[in-house]
Structure formats: structure tokens, C-alpha cells
Amino acid sequence: MCIYIDVDVEIFYMYVQRFNLPTFLFLHLCIIFFFLIRIEIQLSQKMVLLLVLIFSQIIGISQGQLKVGSYAETCPDAESIVGAVVREAAVSNSNIAPVLLRLHFHDCFVQGCDGSILIDNGPNAERHAFGHQGVGGFEVIEKAKSQLEATCPGVVSCADIVALAARDAISLTNGPAYQVPTGRRDGLVSDTSMADNMPDVSDSIQQLRAKFLQKGLSDKDLVLLSAAHTIGTTACFFMTPRLYNFAPERSSDPSINPNFLPELKEKCPQNGDVNVRLPIDRGSGQTFDNQILRNIKDGFAVLQSDARLYEDEATKGVVDSYFNLLSPMFGPFFETDFVDSIVKMGQIDVKTGSDQGEIRRVCGAFN
């Protein structure tokens, strides 16, 4: 009896962690769980999961949290419309996947995932901030919004469109398919000064960790969201400091694999065109996979911020965990963990409920 209970308690806590339930809800579940044990009702694993799911649904409703399928009744074709627009965009722009993924990241890291980056009401709008240089994909979001307004006006937020478009973009590059919790509302503030603290490719690991922690993201999230660099390109502008002017020796970053250095210098010669672009993920720049982590491990990281992940024991441990001999069979599994992290990121400081934000008619302007 005691052994059986111990196993159930462990299973119970595992599911609580898996569903990221709040502490107070966990305590309520504990009370009920141990009450049932007290009256000698033995809970099976399925019963434990059912209990956790029921209470997570209750708390989700009471707190107005995001929910998968929130448009099922109000705009049932919402997600398919966004997906179709993203696929159409990919026909004319093969680089649209990393563009939309980056847009989602930049939106969430400034004032939360509220579509504030989409506003274009003048030079002081957030999208024109220095930290958002090179961010694009706005026309894709606006096109999806236009079609959604024609189908179900005033229902689907621009913030949700950004999150859904990022998901659909990942699937275009053989990345994992996953469900996106929706129900975000659009923010009412957009200002360049809000984007002053974006993570930067030149940040130290301590700076990156602090910026992610400020958003409720862990070291594991930092590694996995950085792994989104598995698709896309970067400009030589961001590489040349690592190649020719790396402090304090003012030479090359010693963390770069010596066999990789000549290749980088050939693509980005000193005093050359800083706008030349190169894949961030050497050898796998068009496919969403964990090759970027292998490259980081082997000294083939293109971005300085990615290379720093292997110079810190905590983040290095996360990278290494995906290359253990048994990880292909028993985990951790890169795609599953990435989905957990991007869904978690998509819930940063979201605005929900009729008392927060709005549903914009046009994504680039407040109502």
C-alpha cells in the first residue's frame, strides 16, 4: 500500500509540473489527493491525470487564461486562414519561416505577446526601435488579419495571428506541429523606448540569462529558444567583430572552431560588405532540427550569443543533454522541449479578458 501511494504521488507531481499549474492550485490538488488516499481510494495514473486536467481547466476559466481552440465557435476557420496565408507567403519568400518566428519572439519580449510591434503610427512606434532592426513579416500578419476581418470581424487578435503564424512557419521547415493557446488581446501602447532591453547577439551569458529570467524563462528556455536559429540567416555585420576585433586581443573569438574560422572569414572578409548574409545553422539552415545545438557544441556557432551557451555550465548541460547516448530513446527530446518553451514564451504578459487591450481592426493601427 505504501509503495503504491508513493508511486502515485510521484506521478501526480509529474503531471502538475507538466501542466505548469500555479502553486496555490497545486496545494488544493494535494489536499484533495491525500484526502482520497486517507479514505483508501487508490488512484490510478489515468485518474491522477484526469484530476489535474479538470482542475487546470477550472483555473484556466477562472483566470481568463489562454486556451487551445478559443476561436472554435466564434471563428472556426481562424487557424486555417492564417495557415493558408503563411503557406502562400512562403511561395514568394523562401525565408518567411525564420522571419515570422523572429517576429513572434520580438513581440513577446517587449510588453508581452500583445502585437505592439505591429503598430506603425510614426517614427516612435515600437517596430522602429533599434532592437527590432531587421524584423519583418508585417505584411503577412496584415494580410491574414484582412481575411479574418472579412470572415469574422472583430474576433481574432493580431497578437494571436503572430503566434499562429510562427507555429505555421515552423511546420514549413519540417519543424514540430503543435497547438497554440489563443485568446490574447492586442496592446494599447507602442513606443520605441520599450524595446531597449531586447536580447542581443553581443550579450554575455549573464546578460542573456537575466533578460530571459525577467520574462519568466529558464536556462533551458534560453537554449531552446536560441535553437530557433536553426533556420534563417544573419548578416556579416554581426560576425565581423568576432572575426577581426574580438576583445581583448582584437583578433578572432577563440571559441570558434579553427576549422570553421577560414570559412567564416571567406564569407565575411575584413572590410567587406557587411550586408552579405550567411546561414546561422551551418549545414542545416533550411530545416528545423537540433543541428544548431550540435554546431554550438562543436564550436561552429555563427552568432556570438549562441557560442556563449556552451561557456556556462548550466546552459552547456542543457545543450549536452540532447546528445546523450540514450536521449534518442529516453529523452530529453528536442522538438518536444522546444514546443514547451515557445508555448511558454507565447504566454508572456498576455492581455486577456474584455478589460485588457482590444481586438484591432487593422494590425498596424490602434482602433
The question of whether 106 is a catalytic residue gets the answer yes
Contacts for 71 with CB less than 8 Å, ≥ 6 apart = 78, 79, 152, 155, 156, 160, 182
126 is in an annotated binding site: yes
191 is in an annotated binding site: no
Decide if 229 contacts 102 (C-beta within 8 A). Answer: no
Q: Coil, strand, or helix at residue 255? A: coil
114 is in an annotated binding site: yes
Among residues 104, 106, 128, 132, which one is catalytic?
106
**Cell digits of residue 164:** 499562429
Angle at which helix 96-108 crosses helix 334-345, to 10 degrees, equals: 50
240-269 CB burial, b ≥16 within 10 A, e <16 = bebbbebeeeeebbeebeeebbeebbebbe
Q: Could you give the CA distance from residue 331 to residue 187 in angstroms, rounded to a whole number?
A: 38
* CB neighbourhood size of 83 (10 A): 18
Cα atoms in the Cβ-side hemisphere of radius 13 Å centred on 201: 17
199 is in an annotated binding site: yes
Pairing of strands 181-182, 67-68: antiparallel
The two most distant CA atoms of the chain are separated, in Å, by 77
79 is in an annotated binding site: no
196 is in an annotated binding site: no
Q: Could you give the CA distance from residue 2 to residue 11 in angstroms, rounded to a whole number?
A: 14
Q: Could you give the CA distance from residue 165 to residue 171 in angstroms, rounded to a whole number?
A: 10
CA distances (Å), origin 88, targets 81, 184, 236 = 11, 25, 29
281 is in an annotated binding site: yes
**Cell digits of residue 82:** 492564417
168 is in an annotated binding site: no
Residues at the annotated binding site for substrate?
A: 199
Binding-site residue set for heme b: 229
Binding residues: 107, 110, 112, 114, 116, 126, 199, 229-230, 281, 289
Catalytic residue positions?
106
